[in-house]
Amino acid sequence: MRAVVVDAARGDWGLEEFDADILGPLDLGVRLHMERYSSYMHDPYSERNAVVIGWGPFTHSRLFGSHRVVAVFKSPVTGALHASTMGGAAWVWARSGVDAIVIEGRALEPSLLLVESPGDGGLRVRLLGVEGLWSLWRPRGDGVYGARALQERAEALARSASSSQALRVAVVGPAAAASHAGSLESWEHDWRVVDGASRGGVGSVLYRAHNIVALAVGGRAAPARGGVYEAVARAVEERLGAPYPKAVLGVTRKYRFDEKLGTGGTFGVNYVHYRELIPMLAFNTIYHGLTVRLRLHAALMEGFWRPFQEEVFTGNPSGKWLTCGEPCPVACKKIYRGVKVDYEPFHAMGPLIGVFKLDHAKRLVEHADALGVDAIEAGHAIAWLLDLASRGKLDPSRIGAPSRPVMSPDEYDPAYSEAHAEIAEGLLLAAYHPEPPKDYAGLEPARLAGSEGLRAAAARLEEEGVGHARDEAVYAAFGPRRWYMTPNLYWTPGMVAPLYLLGRYWTNYSPTFQEPEDYARTSLQRAALEYAVDNAGFCRFHRGWLEKVIDKAYEALGYTVDPVANARRMYRLIAEYRKRAGAPPVPWESRKTMDIVSTIAAELRISPWAERMAEDPGSILEWWRRFHREVERLLEAA
């Protein structure tokens, strides 16, 4: 791999070639953090916490889905290495002529990092000061503020300084200054599609450790990967029994259009497929029977899913199926009234927080995007605060609510949607903007959730006398202090299991339950495969075909290393890093987190665990310990 290493403090840079046994950007990031920077010894906002941003070796191969950007960094949320990805950007960024950008040191002022190839084999790297940052970030009535406004400014700044113009810009938002959950975002298709590296707080690290608020990358270089497409296409036809384009469309139908379900995209399909297993109302639905959950699901389908379906599929779909910015037949980006709709951000700003009207959630998602915040993390924090107020543990005025919100599934009515959305808008600004409007500045529980993170905020509220505040939060804990990760929005043990990198799909995340040793094995195998896909720079929506031929794909590039075996070894290194950082997985400390595991066992009638957990709630920690022991055993053997 060829990387440009930028010292933002000095404003200088150099090119480095890395070993041929590095198969992709994840390998590079993990190795650099372990061997060069020893960042496990340093605070996440130290200049030593380099941000390694790269793309895979197949970027110029014409293979579908091969243009994802991967960021590796020490997370200020989890306290250890994290990887976050952004779709499509490598289609332009790879034209810089390098495979990765490594950012170390702290710039003297908020800066845009410009990396471009002028097309003559050379490279231009510049740091450009961004003036008026805080005025760009200040909320405006038209909603064009924060990260969105910064991208407009950064694009103009990059155009004036660039010789090539073939650039794509990514930016951080005000959440990077106010919280640990800041993301790196990039808009495409006339502002209709925003893609972001969101989980884990890479935007917060870029801003607070390096004073980098924007990247503009691209140029005129376009090295070819001759023969790779043909070799992979042959392997796909041999192993999947269909020509490459047809096979791709077959295994990605969920993300494009599933004829059997009559819908497509993660938003369209998940609500039809998972039905009563969808977690709603701060995950409180896990405590209720089928009748209540089906009633809520029916209300969700009517006010939340149906408007999307009618706009994107039933009506004229022209211009409403887009890509992340690379040529791809899947066209997974579904556009509702000018905004990209995906399951997790819309569910986090929707049914998770008691918002069952799509237009209300759309407004909140636009605010989350402008703030540059991980919408899943924000959704968990808002749901938790609403739930505490709903249960009478917090006075509603402390979260900006005129009266008690309703988060109990058997009491909830979709008529509450607008009121919840108005409360959530204030909580978003209070938690994730460093200078919120004065009407929201006094919402201290939200400020704690943003500035300290959910786990530490819950502990602080308990110290103030809010009883069992931690028990109403949903997170997996790391280490003895504040490190944690909130789960993606599925009712499954895999999202909170004692693994070494959570918040992604590096686990068995199906709504199932198994003996802990079996679950650990399936989760670690899934983690290795997901690592290999990310490391190759591919979108995971293409995993259905890529995982079956990834060995042949690397062979076509001349590699002799098994990419999945390599992934297992690298995951072991990630685990070692987490231990050195003092942030290993620790037993669940939230009752609701434990209940996610015990209730799915009961829902699926898995014996004897369902009976044991019902009789002895503490037995769930035995399941945790046995899962953890099996993970350790498997990693030792890797």
Give the pLDDT band of residue 183 (cuts 50, 70, 90).
very high
Identify the band that residue 165 occupies on the pLDDT scale cut at 50, 70 and 90: confident
- Tell me: the pLDDT tens digits for 480-493? 989 999 999 999 99
Per-residue pLDDT band for 336 (boundaries 50, 70, 90) equals very high
DSSP state of 414: G
Structure tokens at 482: 């504040």
Instruction: State mean pLDDT over 353-370.
Output: 97
Asked if the model's pLDDT at residue 223 lies above 80, the reply is no
239 residue type, one letter: R
CA dihedral 49, 51, 56, 57 (to 10 degrees): -80
Cα gap 205→203, rounded to integer Å: 5
> Of the candidates 71, 82, 74, which has an alpha carbon nearest to the alpha carbon of residue 40?
74
Q: Which two tokens stand for residue 16?
A: 């480095």
| Residue 378, pLDDT score | 98
User: Percent of the chain at pLDDT above 90?
Assistant: 91
Q: Residue 20 has which token pair?
A: 């041929």
- The mean per-residue pLDDT over the stretch 273-300 comes to 98
Q: List, edge to edge, every strand of the sheet that includes 81-86.
A: 12-17, 2-7, 100-104, 51-55, 69-74, 81-86
Mean residue pLDDT across the chain: 96
Flag whether pLDDT at 135 surpasses 80: yes
CA neighbours within 13 Å on the CB side: how many for 270? 22
Secondary structure of residue 182 in the 3-state scheme: strand
Write down the pLDDT at residue 402. Answer: 96
Q: How confident is the model at residue 144 (pLDDT cuts 50, 70, 90)?
A: confident
Predicted pLDDT of residue 192: 93
Q: pTM surpassing 0.75?
A: yes
Q: How far apart are CA 171 and CA 137, in angstroms?
A: 12
Residue 604: which pLDDT band, with cuts at 50, 70 and 90? very high
User: How far is residue 475's CA from residue 482's CA, in Å, rounded to a whole number?
Assistant: 11
Tokens of 158: 């990059």
pLDDT digits (tens, 9 = 90+) for 10-42: 999 999 999 889 999 999 999 999 999 999 999
Lowest mean pLDDT: which of 103-107, 111-115, 158-162, 611-615?
611-615
**What distance in Å separates the CA atoms of residue 617 and residue 611, rounded to the nearest whole number?**
10
pLDDT digits (tens, 9 = 90+) for 436-446: 988 898 899 99
- What is the side-by-side order of every strand in the sheet holding 124-129? 124-129, 111-117, 212-219, 167-171, 184-188, 193-197
Query: Cα(296)–Cα(99) distance, rounded to whole angstroms?
Result: 47
Q: How many CB atoms lie within 10 A of CB 224?
A: 9
Give a three-class secondary structure readout of 212-246: EEEEEEEECCCCCCCCHHHHHHHHHHHHHCCCHHH
Whole-angstrom distance, CA of residue 204 vs CA of residue 196: 13
- What are the structural domains, with CATH classification, of the chain? 2-219 (3.60.9.10), 252-478 (1.10.569.10), 516-637 (no CATH)
Residue with tokens 């799909």: 505
Which pLDDT score, from 0 to 100, does residue 382 have? 98
Look up tokens 């998602």; give the residue: 365
Check residue 418 and give its pLDDT. Answer: 98
- pLDDT one-digit tens code per residue, 94-122: 999 999 999 999 999 999 999 999 987 89
Contact 161, 128 (CB under 8 A): yes
CA gap 411, 256 in Å, rounded = 36
- Indicate whether 507 pLDDT > 90: yes
CB atoms within 10 A of CB 626: 16
For the residues 518-525, what does the mean pLDDT come to?
98
pLDDT at 621 over 80: yes
3-state secondary structure of 478: strand
